[in-house]
Structure 1
Amino acid sequence: MSSFADVLTGAKATAEGRVVSVPETWHQGRTAYGGFSSALALAEAMRVGGELPPLRSAQMAMMAPLYGDVEVRARVLRSGRNAIWMASEIYGEKGLGFTASFVFMRPVESTVSLNDCEMPSGVLVPEEAQPLSRDRGAVFLRNNFDVRFAQPPSDERRPEMFWWVRPREVTALDPTVALLLTADALPPGVMRLLSPSVPVSTMHWQVNLLTPEPETVDGWWLLRSTSDYAKDGCSSQRMALWNAKGVPMLTGVQSIALFG
C-alpha cells in the first residue's frame, strides 16, 4: 500500500512538471480522492515555488476523473511584497482534470483580531467516539485514515456531519500538505438526506487556512460539513476543521453535484 509520501517519492520529472501514479487505495469512486489531488497540486506548487510564505488560501476545481498516471504542473502567477499567487494543474489521460489556485502570504501587522470559529459544544473527544468500521466508507478512507464519529448516534436527519479524522501516515509530509490531504475526507453533509445509492461529486472547493503552522495532538482533526442549500442537483456546503484542542485551523465552502 502506498502512502501519499510514497507517491511523491516515486514522481518522475517531465518537461513541464512531474508524473505520479494514483494508487487504487487512494480512489474515491472512479477518480482520485479530492484531498489527494489537492495535496498533490499543493506539493508541486511548493516544490516549484521554493521558499514560500505560509499557505493562506486555496481554490480547487475538480473537473474530470483522475486515475492511473497523471501529470502535475505548477507555476508562479504573481509574486508581490507580501503574497505569492501560484497555479497548479493535473492532467490525466483525457486531458486537464484538476486546477488549483494558491495564495501564500507572510504575516503582517494588524489591529484586528477576530475569532468566530469556535468548536461546537457537545462534540465527543476521540477517545470516547465510536470508530467507523474499516469495512465501511470509501476506498481512500479504509486504506489511509482512522475515522470516529464526533457526535452521539441520532435519528435526526440534518444535512451535517462531524467526524474525527486521523491520517495514518504523514510523518514525511509538510504539515500544510498533510492538512489539505485530510480536510476533504468528510462526505458532504447533504448525503444524510440522500439514499446511499445517489452519486455525488465535488465541483469546486475553497479553503482558508487560519494558521500558518497547523498542528494537533495524536494526529486527530475534527471535520464538519454543513449543507445549507440544495436544489436542481446542486448543493452548497460550509466546512470547518479544528485541531484536537479545539483551535480552528481551516474553513471552507464547497459546491456539490447531486445525481439523484
Structure 2
Amino acid sequence: MDIESIFENFSEKQESYKLTIPDNWSQGRTVFGGLSAALAYQAAENLISDGRELRAFHCNFVGPLNVDEEVEVSAEVLRTGRNVTQILAKVIQNGQVGVMAQVCFGVSRESKLNHIDHPKHDMPIPKKAKFIPQIPKIVPKFIRHFDLALEKGSFSVGTKKDPEMHGWCRLSKAPSQMKMAYLIALMDAWPPTMFQMMKLPAPASTMSWDIEFIHPISEISPTDWLACVVKASHVNQGYGHEEADFWDQNGRLVALSRQVVAVFG
C-alpha cells in the first residue's frame, strides 16, 4: 500500500478516522514515525477551510503504534483567531495515545519586513537514488517507499565520526499530487545521524519533532527531490538533538526541523 492509498481514508471530513497501517510501513515492530505524524497532521488540516497554511508542527511520539492493528486519528480546534488557528491532533491505538501533535495554521500577510539569512546547500540534483538493500531486522521496511540519494555521511554503522548527513529524498512512487502530509512523512525518512558513529546497530526512538515551514509547497511536484542537510548538535546521556534544513529543487528553503532522539546504544 502506497502513501496515497493510506490517505484516501481522509478524503471525507469526519470527527475521527479509523484505519490500519500495513506491515510494509513498519519501523521495527511499529508504524514508521513519519507516517504516524503525517496522520495526525492530516486530521488537523481537514479542519481548515479558509486557506490558512501550515506554519508550525510540533509532534510528541508518546507510545508505540503497532502495524496491522487499527488506529483512530482525531483533531480538535483549540482556538481560531484572525490570523492563526491552533489545532490539537491525536493518534490512538487500544485506548492509548501514540502520537500527539499541535498544529499551527496561519494566513499570509503583507509585511514591510523581509529578511533572509540562512546558509544554502551546494548539492546537484541526483540522477538516481542510492540502492538500500532490504536487510531483515536492520533496514526498516518503510524505506522502500522513499528514494534517498546520499551526498555526505553514511547509512552504515561505524563508518563516520561526525553525526551529519547531506542528501536528497523523494517518494519512490509519485502520488497524483504532492500534499503536506506526504512531505511530513518524507522529511522523517532519514535515519538518525548518530547511527553512523556507532560500532554496533542499536535501537533509537524519536521523542519529539518540531517543524517550521518557511514556504508553502504549491511549487513542489510529486516527482521532485527534496534536499536535506541534517546534523546532530549534541549526542550524550542517551539522547541526540538533531537539526535539519529542507529545500526544494529550485533552492528555496521549505522547512526547518528539529528532533530529540533517544538512542539505546
Contact 1:147 1:164 in 2 (8 A): yes
CA distance in 1, matches of 2:111, 2:162: 38
Q: Does 1:256 align with 2:261?
A: yes
1:1-260 map, 5 Å: 2-10=1-9, 16-67=15-66, 68-93=69-94, 95-121=96-122, 123-127=123-127, 131-135=130-134, 137-142=139-144, 144-151=145-152, 156-172=160-176, 175-216=179-220, 218-260=223-265
Unaligned stretches of 5+ residues in structure 1: none
Q: Tell me the TM-score normalised to structure 1 length.
A: 0.89
Residue 222 (structure 1) shift: 1.2
Task: Give SS of 2:34's match.
Answer: helix
Q: By how many angstroms is 1:232 displaced?
A: 0.9
**Structure 1 196/27 Cα, relative in aligned 2: closer, same or farther at 3 Å?**
farther
Q: Secondary structure at the match of 1:6?
A: helix
SS at match of 2:44: helix
Give the secondary-structure state (helix, strand or coil) at the position aligned to 1:36: helix
Matched-pair identity in %: 25
Do the aligned partners of 2:195 and 2:201 also contact (CA within 8 Å) in 1?
no
TM-score (norm. length: structure 2): 0.87
Q: Which runs of 5+ in 2 are unaligned?
A: none
Assess, with a 3 A threshold, how the Cα gap between structure 1 residues 192 and 92 changes in structure 2: closer, same or farther. Answer: same
Q: Which residue identity is paired with 2:57? A: A
TM-fit CA distance, 1:219: 1.9
**Are residues 156 and 233 of structure 1, via their aligned partners in 2, closer, same or farther at CA, if it must alter by over 3 Å?**
closer
